[in-house]
Amino acid sequence: MGLVSPDYGTIFWMVLAFSVVFFILKKFAWGPVLKMLKEREQSIDNALLSASEAREGLSRLQAEHDRMMQEAHGERELLIAEARQIREQLINKAREEAAIENERLLEHARRQIESEKLSAMSEIRQQVATLSVDIAEKILKKELADRSKQESLIKEQLSDLKLN
């Protein structure tokens, strides 16, 4: 058996045994093992990916939360400001209304007073007139009881008329 001359018996067994083992291993070992390794790697990749996704989602949620808080804060400020404004407005309005009402009442009172005054004046005037006429009547009655006095009055009156 030469050292560098291949022996056909060895070749025969090598081809046979190696092929058999190769196909057995290919079918029952390498195939499942490589498939499993690939699947495991994929599942690890997926797990890592979903973890990072979850982390991202969490940070997104956090950001959302922060944003909402900020918004709520802003809204509260706004609401408070608005309420303050409304209060201010209301107070102002009430104040204005009160002033107007006041004015109106005053005016009314004034007018009442005026009209009361007028009616009182006219009553007084009437009273005075009646009184004057009564007094004049009484005076005339007393004056004209004497004949001469009637005549002098007529004369006086007549002279007045002439002058006119």
Partner 1 sequence: MKRWMYFTWILLLMVTSGGPLLAFSGEGQNEPNEAPKKFDAGKFIMEHVMDSHEWHIMKIGQTEISIPLPVILYTKEKGLSVFLSSKFHHGTKPYNGYMLAEEGPHEGKIVQANTNGTINETAPMPFDISITKTVAAMLVSLLLLLLVFLPMAKKYSKNTDKAPTGFQALIEPVILFVRDDIAIPSIGLHRYEKFMPFLLTAFFFILTNNLMGLIPIPPGGANVTGNIAITALLAVFTFAITTFSTNKNYWKHIFDAPGVPWWLKFPIPLMPFIELLGVFTKPLVLCIRLFANILAGHFIALSFIVMIFIFGQIHWIAGYGSSVVAILFYVFMTMLELLVAFIQAYVFTLLSAIYFGMAKVEEHH
The CB-of-35 to partner 1 minimum distance in angstroms stands at 8
Nearer to partner 1, 18 or 64 (CB): 18
The CB-of-11 to partner 1 minimum distance in angstroms stands at 5
Q: Which residue has the tokens 């990072």?
A: 52
Nearer to partner 1, 39 or 146 (CB): 39
Q: At what angle do helices 147-163 and 31-143 cross, to 10 degrees?
A: 120
The CB-of-79 to partner 1 minimum distance in angstroms stands at 54
The CB-of-51 to partner 1 minimum distance in angstroms stands at 16
Are 143 and 133 in contact by the 8 Å Cβ rule? The answer is no
The CB-of-28 to partner 1 minimum distance in angstroms stands at 6
What amino acid is encoded at 159 in this protein?
A: S
Nearer to partner 1, 21 or 98 (CB): 21
Nearer to partner 1, 22 or 125 (CB): 22
Which residues of this chain interact with partner 1, rule CB under 8 A?
1, 3-15, 17-18, 21-22, 24-26, 28-34, 36-37, 39-40, 43
Are 149 and 141 in contact by the 8 Å Cβ rule? The answer is no
DSSP letters for 62-114: HHHHHHHHHHHHHHHHHHHHHHHHHHHHHHHHHHHHHHHHHHHHHHHHHHHHH
90-113 as b/e, with b when 16 or more CB fall inside 10 Å?
Answer: eeeeeeeeeeeeeeeeeeeeeeee
Nearer to partner 1, 32 or 74 (CB): 32
